[in-house]
Amino acid sequence: MQNRINLFFLIQVLLICILQNSLLAQGQINFTAFGHQPKTVPDSLFVALSASTDVDKTAQLFTQIAKLHLQHGNSDSVLYYAKKLDTLSLGSLKETSKNNTFKQQSLLLLGNGNLQKGFFDDAMAAFFHGLNLTNKQKNYDLRHELQLGLGKSYFKKDSIGKAAALFTQLCDTSESPQILAEANYYLGNIQLQQDNRQKAKNYYVKAQELINDQNSKVYLAATLTLGNIHALNQEVNLAYLNFEQVMQKSIAQRYYDLYTQAILRYGQLSREQENYEVAEMVLSMGYANSLQWNNLEMQKDIIQGLIATYKAKGDFENAYALMTQFVRLNKELAQQQNKETIKELQVQYETVQKENEILALKETQLQKENELDRQRTIKKAVLYGFLAVLVPIIGLLVVYYQKLQTQSKLNQQQEELSQQRMKTLMNKQELALAKAGLNAQHQERSRIAKQLHDSIGGNLAGIKLQLSSPNMDKEVQKEVALQVNETYELVREISHDLTPKKFIQDDFSALLKDYLKRIDQNATVEISFSAHPKERINLISEKIKVELYQITQELVTNTLKHAKAKHIDLHINILDDVLQLLFEDDGFGFNLQNTSQGIGLKNIKQRLHYLQGTIVIDSALNRGTAITIEIPVLWS
């Protein structure tokens, strides 16, 4: 916590210096960094709360204050008053209906607070709990709000199918303009995530039409994402106009979380336009605000933007430092959430849903049975009439079915025979390759043994005889020295034969660059590579060069085979006698908990163990993969 506070004040000092010059140059864009959480709740509510002695009124004030904090992005305050309301519903309220209503309201606030803070698992647990309670009552408005929150949680957790189903259901069942606008807004987000820009734009415009208030938070959020579409379409001026409009109105309406999101997009667009100073300033200011509000999810997004900015500037040391911070935030978010509770609540919710469906089916079944009883007599007469015709048809079908079974077994046997032949051929090929490898090794060993015996062995035998001679004059000594030098050169020649010449003769950074250039020319992926400082990297030992080259080959091969990436970034630098390799792609990614390690990854870890190196992998579905490798440097 102390480190965060120190970092916050450091950023604040830097921002003051940068911001003064930037504001003078731009003249019209108002960026704001907050040294404290801005005041969002009127004092009159706190006065009323302190004076309240009525339980119902106190619960209503808790709800009102929490909703104001939620609207203005103060997630910690939302969670605080949600827990106060939950305690009040358990300990003070006597009427069961009011007890349940305030309990459900506290769970709704608790879910939205955790959702805003970035604790998506805890948010889902609260929404599931609230929905299980609403199944016992007919409070449809509150149920729709809980379903909306659950849909948002699914969207944040990348469960797109479940999220889309909930938002579509809300569009069909809810009559609330606010809920309909938010459901359309998130359906637009889903379409934009799938790069359906026109469909996404239609949903955002519909959301704005439903809410019909340009100062509404949903209206401004739709304006912000429309700016994202402008940026994707290279309409830069329109995108900046949208972001500036959202920033100005968010400050006026005190939507501080939305204001920071607009800052994030403004900084990202500035980076894409290579305006790195503005991007770094804006993103650093947004990071300071997210630290002040303890919003971990927002911190992750802004850190990713800063990492991309530093990489674009060539500042790989700061990019690597922030990558470490990013990994720490991911671990912190995972550790603070209770996933087991979510699973239990989800099972309960789905069970209740299925029970309701079963009850509806039973009612429908009763109605159908009455109709079936009426028609059963008529059907019997018809069935008896067709029975004589059906018997021979059934016989023909049985014969045809038996024929199909026989044909299917024959096809299966032929397929098994083909597979056995394929396996036999593959085994023969593998055996041939193994024999060829063994023969090559045997020939190489025989060549080295012959060279050792014929040249070095003969020289050493001659040197031994001459050294054992009692009468060794200067001529003999000179001849012995020449034979020793010749033997030394032969040993060097054998040693060099065992190490690939390309790692001795060529610059290592140029060798890697040529390899990646060949891949870039022959594949659909775009590869960027940088090495700093090249002079020091070219001086590392041949052992590290060989292993690092093969590790790079393995990483690129895995990305081309499995990730379906469009871009690969590879950066190598040396800092404090530690070689650092940062490998990133924008492919499919994978789940670290549910994915077993393949042969390629195991080989990489074995090579790093041999070099006393370490590896850190950060990946998630649909978010690409980032791999950081560190190796202690041995100089050649």
Please report the DSSP string for 395-426 in residue order.
HHHHHHHHHHHHHHHHHHHHHHHHHHHHHHHH
pLDDT recorded at residue 16: 39
Phi, psi of 38, rounded to the nearest 5 degrees: -65, 150
Q: Cα–Cα distance between 367 and 369 in angstroms, integer? A: 6
- The pairing of strands 526-532 and 567-575 is parallel
Whole-number pLDDT of residue 613: 93
How far from the centroid of its chain's Cα atoms is residue 598's Cα? 20
| Bond from prior residue into 500 cis (ω within 30 degrees of 0) | no
CATH 1.25.40.10 region(s) of the chain?
43-164
Does the domain spanning 502-632 belong to CATH 3.30.565.10?
yes
- Give the pLDDT score at 171: 92
Average pLDDT of adjacent 10-residue blocks, the chain of 636 residues: 43 44 46 56 81 82 82 80 81 58 83 82 85 71 86 88 91 90 92 91 92 88 91 90 88 80 83 79 72 65 75 72 68 56 51 54 72 79 79 85 86 84 69 53 60 60 64 70 71 58 70 85 85 87 86 87 87 91 90 74 86 90 90 79
Secondary structure element (H or E) that encloses residue 7, with its range: helix 2-26
Phi then psi dihedrals of residue 570, to 5 deg: -130, 120
**Which two three-digit tokens encode residue 320?**
């690597």
What pLDDT sits at residue 346?
A: 55
Q: At what angle do helices 177-193 and 217-232 cross, to 10 degrees?
A: 20
pLDDT at residue 13 in the model: 35
Looking at residue 492, what is its pLDDT? 62
Cβ-Cβ contacts under 8 Å for 419 (sequence gap 6 or more): none
Say if CB 192 and CB 200 are below 8 A apart.
yes
Domain 43-164 CATH (choose: 1.20.1250.20, 3.60.110.10, 1.25.40.10, 3.40.50.300): 1.25.40.10
At a CB cut-off of 8 Å and minimum separation 6, what does 308 contact?
Answer: 268, 271
Q: Quick one: pLDDT at residue 31?
A: 58
Could you tell me where in the chain the CATH 3.30.565.10 domains are found? 502-632
User: Nearest CA to 326 among 16, 617, 30, 89?
Assistant: 617
Torsion of Cα atoms, 426 then 429 then 434 then 439, to 10°: 170
Q: Which residues of 444-457 are buried (b: 16+ CB within 10 A; e: fewer)?
A: eeeeeeeeeeebbe
